[in-house]
Amino acid sequence: MKPVDVRHVTLAYDTPDGRIEAVRGASFSAASSEFVCIVGPSGCGKTTLLNMIAGFLTPSSGEILIGGAPVSGQGTDRGIVFQDFAQLFPWRTALENVAFGLEMKDVAKPERYRIALEQLRLVRLEKFAGAYPHHLSGGMQQRVAIARALAYNPGVLLMDEPFAALDAMTREEMQRLLAEVWRETKKTIIYVTHNVAEAVYLADRVVVMSPHPGTVRKIVSIRLPRPRDALSVEFLEHQKELLAHLTRQEEA
């Protein structure tokens, strides 16, 4: 899998009220197969940063490397999962959604359906291969979106609060499932969230960001054995540590 290197990245907009920096001088890296969470309050530029890694936005300065090569625009070396359930194509079944990226790579139909079905099995939805997205629950739709982003085998998976719109119980189930998917696929994952417990549950390292302008405040390693117990003392201590970094920046 591919490492990701974010080096002194700034994104600034010129507005009538002057120059606004959404992200200022952000640097962090994700090693090959590492799970990195970006945590911060809204307006801290975490989604903007992810969109730059995805290639939707171009940094004003600094550079982003994926597997050593600088990012320019979008590419199939990265898979992306958004928060909005509407990201799936409603006119395609779950299987056809997952097969889309392979279709764009001109993989033959039987082969791409075979791979797509494998991906659906990974997120435990093989029984729903023929269902249209509107017949699936929010959690199932997000699982299809994960399978879709993995199907064309990108080295890096980028996730923008994929479970934020789900109810608490489904969200926990999804987190467990994602941890398994990551263990099996060994993708490098960069995962944006505002949920501290989620970051501690999933991440090897957490990038804490603070707003106005969006900067990297602190990078915290989570050295807990997996699968993680969200009720253990160590887990809660990590949560406290992250919360302390987040609140301190609000006072500052």
Q: How far apart are CA 55 and CA 50, in angstroms?
A: 9
Which residues between 152 and 191 bind another protein (CB under 8 A)? 152
CB atoms within 10 A of CB 192: 27
> Smallest distance from the beta carbon of 88 to another protein, in angstroms?
8
What track of x and - describes contact with another protein for positions 102 through 141 (by CB under 8 A)? -xxx--------------------------xxxx------
Please report whether residue 13 would count as binding another protein according to CB under 8 A.
no
SS3 82: coil
> Smallest distance from the beta carbon of 220 to another protein, in angstroms?
29
Question: Measured from the CB atom, is 35 or 82 closer to another protein?
Answer: 82
Question: Measured from the CB atom, is 61 or 76 closer to another protein?
Answer: 76
With contacts defined by CB under 8 A, name the span among 88-96, 163-171, 175-183, 234-242 that binds another protein. 88-96
Q: How far apart are CA 203 and CA 199, in angstroms?
A: 6
Strands (DSSP E) contained in 78-171 are 78-81, 156-160
Please report whether residue 86 would count as binding another protein according to CB under 8 A.
yes
Q: How far apart are CA 136 and CA 86, in angstroms?
A: 12
> Smallest distance from the beta carbon of 86 to another protein, in angstroms?
6
> Smallest distance from the beta carbon of 148 to another protein, in angstroms?
7
Q: Of 53, 79, 83, 238, which is closest to residue 174 (Cα–Cα)?
A: 83
For another protein, the binding residue among 40, 45, 59, 101 (CB under 8 A) is 101
For another protein, the binding residue among 2, 78, 187, 205 (CB under 8 A) is 78
Exposed e or buried b per residue across 143-170, where buried means at least 16 C-beta atoms within 10 angstroms of its C-beta: bbbbbbbbbbebbbbbbbbbbeebeeeb
> Smallest distance from the beta carbon of 234 to another protein, in angstroms?
36
> Smallest distance from the beta carbon of 185 to another protein, in angstroms?
17
Question: Measured from the CB atom, is 17 or 106 closer to another protein?
Answer: 106
SS3 34: coil
Q: How far apart are CA 140 and CA 123, in angstroms?
A: 9
Residue corresponding to tokens 């799970």: 35
Strand pairing category for 188-193 and 156-160: parallel
Backbone angles phi, psi at 153, to 5 degrees: 60, 55
Q: Answer whether 101's CB lies under 8 Å from 148's CB.
A: yes
Which residues between 39 and 68 bind another protein (CB under 8 A)? 54-56
With contacts defined by CB under 8 A, name the span among 7-15, 87-95, 167-175, 225-233 that binds another protein. 87-95
Contacting residues toward another protein, per CB under 8 A: 54-56, 74-76, 78-80, 82, 84, 86-87, 89-91, 100-101, 103-105, 132-135, 148-149, 152
